[in-house]
Amino acid sequence: MRKLYLHAGAHRTGTSSFQLCLAANRSKLEAEGYDLAYPGRDGAPGGMLHLRLPKPRHSKEDLPEFTAKVTKTLMRHVTGDSGGLILSDENVLGLIVHFFSGRLYPARRKRLLAFRGGLEAIEAEVAHILLVIRSYEELFVSGYRKHAEDNSVEPFEAIAQTMTDFSGGWPDTIKAVQNVLKPAAITVIEYGARGESSALLARLLGAEPEAYVEPEEDLNVSATDAALEHLQGIYQAGTELEREAWQAVIAQYADQAEDRGFARFSAAQSEALAARYAQDLEEIGAMEGVTLIP
């Protein structure tokens, strides 16, 4: 059986940096017998992965169609009949946009089932899954800011309570991953303990911490409040921008780093989200078959 080593994100936890690390170590990894699959949406060299997975609106009747698409995609990224496949994609679990309606990865089970069908088709079993998680407050704020870079968004205060009362959570997500993909091992790392991408890659593969090199560049520069306010003025006037154009705006306002309150929970909302995250970390730490690095 082919062995899959899956880096499943999550969103806003340094996934782009990890994929850049895969690119930087491609020659060594391929020499070690690994195939690589990761998207290039943030510019990681050699990123060609484009998984088509179900959304909340899709039903179980749609799963065979999505499984066929996943199979076709995975076949482009594997060589030979065995060996290892390293796959990194934060969208396996779901999309950022659902955070804003108070749902954390609502289509995760359907997406995982379609993904599993593709793995079965290429005769792959899941050797290790690595998932980096982040506090709910930081996750939602960072996700909102990222989405606002190239989309018109509602004011943060209009959806803050909906996000505070969100359904789902990290424990439910991890249970779905375990139940559907049945990995031999799963490691969950709290964002504050993430460390360098090269060490994360070594952990995923069970290698020595110094086995791989760290990428020299950073592809995912965060936008300042000033940049996001300017971009929202453009989008809400009905104008769309190509990636190069909105990235130019981000660069233009990079030095205006003052906090203008573009995305901020109230004190009560922050307290509620922090309490829930602390409780969920305790639950994850007690899960059988899960290694938590807090």
Domain boundaries, the chain: 2-136+168-216+277-293
Which H or E run contains 128? strand 124-133
Cβ atoms of 54 and 114 closer than 8 Å: yes
Q: What is the pLDDT of residue 219?
A: 64
Q: What is the pLDDT of residue 80?
A: 81
Asked whether the CA dihedral 75, 77, 82, 86 is positive or negative, the reply is: negative
Locus of tokens 């991408």:
197
51, 34, 287, 251: which is closest to 170 by C-alpha? Answer: 287
What is the C-alpha separation between 83 and 35, in angstroms, rounded? Answer: 8
What are residue 5's DSSP bridge partners?
86, 128
Q: What is the pLDDT of residue 63?
A: 97
Q: What is the pLDDT of residue 221?
A: 75
Q: What is the pLDDT of residue 220?
A: 66
- Looking at domain 2-136+168-216+277-293, its CATH class is alpha beta
CA dihedral 61, 65, 67, 70 (to 10 degrees): -150
Q: What is the pLDDT of residue 182?
A: 98
- pLDDT tens, position by position, 250-268: 999 999 999 999 999 999 9
List phi, psi (to 5°) of 131: -130, 120
Could you give the 3-state DSSP secondary structure of residue 124?
strand
Cβ atoms of 107 and 55 closer than 8 Å: yes
Is this model's pTM higher than 0.85 or not?
yes
Spans of the chain, pLDDT less than 70: 218-220
How close are the terminal C-alpha atoms of the chain, in Å? 32
Q: What is the pLDDT of residue 216?
A: 84
List phi, psi (to 5°) of 100: -75, -15
